[in-house]
Amino acid sequence: MAKAKAKKKVSRASRIQGEGDYDATRRYLRDVEKFVHTADIEAAARAAAPRNAREARELKQAEAAGRRHATGAKPAKNWFLRDLESIRRKAREHLSEGALTQNYKGSVEKAIGLLNHAVATEIVCVLRYKFHAVAATGLSSEGVREEFAQHAKEEEAHLDLLCERINQLGGKPQMNPEGLLARASSQYVEGENLVDMIRENLIAERIAIESYRDMVRYFGDNDPTTRVMLEGILAQEEEHANDMHDLLVAHEGRPMLAR
Ligand SMILES: [Fe+2]
Ligand SMILES: [Fe+2]
């Protein structure tokens, strides 16, 4: 019955005239007719069938994607779970890129550049705080020195986090002291006395806060891991600034900020 219908369809089609190569059309129709009469359709269908559950799933996904494309329909809410096979396959490719996968948004080079800028800033902060922790003198310097030393340790921890993230992104942390100050946001100022030191550290912390806040905005949703790490560092820089502000008030005897 199906074969008879197909034959009827083919012979009707052969009478249609139009633009193009008539010989080629006739040959094509002859071949189709021959195929309909002689081919083992069931065997061909069996050969084209998916060979395992994975192929069956991929076929279904391809059909769904084709239908979505044809109708302009939006992907279903849990499309990412349906795409699991594709995610698994891609994860096996480009293994040399480590944590960096294909859906990383934004520029990796720019991310590494910004993080290296922060690396230089943190190194300068470590050096400045360490110097102040040793060089601070005066009647009431003991507690301040401890605060400087504590901040030096925390700036070093920031440095470690930044270097680790640069490494995860496939970059190289720039630890070369040559050109360090030019790469950093903060400055290295020794200060003439205890109050000078505290003030310089407050200024450096405020610079760091401004830089990290901009970086957090830049990374946004493009690189949530880096953003969350920077948010943690930013919060600690704000604590540092607050500590330095309180010390400055205590040693200068007047409030710096209008409440
Ligand atoms: Fe820091
Ligand atoms: Fe800090």
Find the mean pLDDT for residues 100-109: 84
Q: What is the pLDDT of residue 61?
A: 63
How many angstroms separate the alpha carbon of residue 167 from the centre of ligand 2?
22
pLDDT reported for residue 76:
62
For 182-210, how does the pLDDT look when each residue is reduced to its tens digit (9 = 90+)? 999 988 999 989 999 999 999 999 999 99
Report how far residue 219's alpha carbon sits from residue 222's, in angstroms, rounded to the nearest whole number: 6
Which listed ligand is nearest to 124 at the C-alpha? Answer: 1
**pLDDT of the residue at 79:** 61
From ligand 2's centre to the CA of 250, what distance in Å? 19
Looking at residue 164, what is its pLDDT? 97
Would you list the domain boundaries of the chain?
Answer: 108-252
Say how far apart CA 251 and CA 226 lie, in whole Å: 37
Tokens of 189: 């100022």
Compare 251 and 234 and report the one with higher pLDDT.
234
Is it the case that residue 136 has pLDDT exceeding 70?
Answer: yes
Q: How far is CA 34 from the centre of its chain?
A: 57
- Please tell me the number of the ligand nearest to residue 230's CA: 1
Residues, CB within 5 angstroms of ligand 2 (ion): 205, 237, 240
Predicted confidence at residue 82, as pLDDT, reads 63
Report the distance separating Cα 211 and Cα 209, nearest Å.
5
- Distances in whole angstroms, Cα of residue 90 to Cα of each of 78, 85, 114, 123, 128: 19, 9, 28, 38, 46
Q: What is the distance in A from the centroid of ligand 1 to the CA of 94?
A: 33
Instruction: State the pTM of this model.
Output: 0.65
From the CA of 121, the nearest ligand is 1
The CATH T-level fold of domain 108-252 is Ferritin (1.20.1260)
Q: Following DSSP, what letter does each residue of 108-168 receive, concatenated? A: HHHHHHHHHHHHHHHHHHHHHHHHHHHH--STTHHHHHHHHHHHHHHHHHHHHHHHHHHHH
Q: How far is the CA of 118 from the centre of ligand 1 (A)?
A: 8
pLDDT in tens, 32-88: 677 666 666 666 666 667 666 666 666 666 666 566 666 666 666 666 666 777 777
Distance from residue 210's CA to the centre of ligand 2 (Å): 12
| Rounded-to-integer distance, Cα 83 and Cα 78, Å | 9
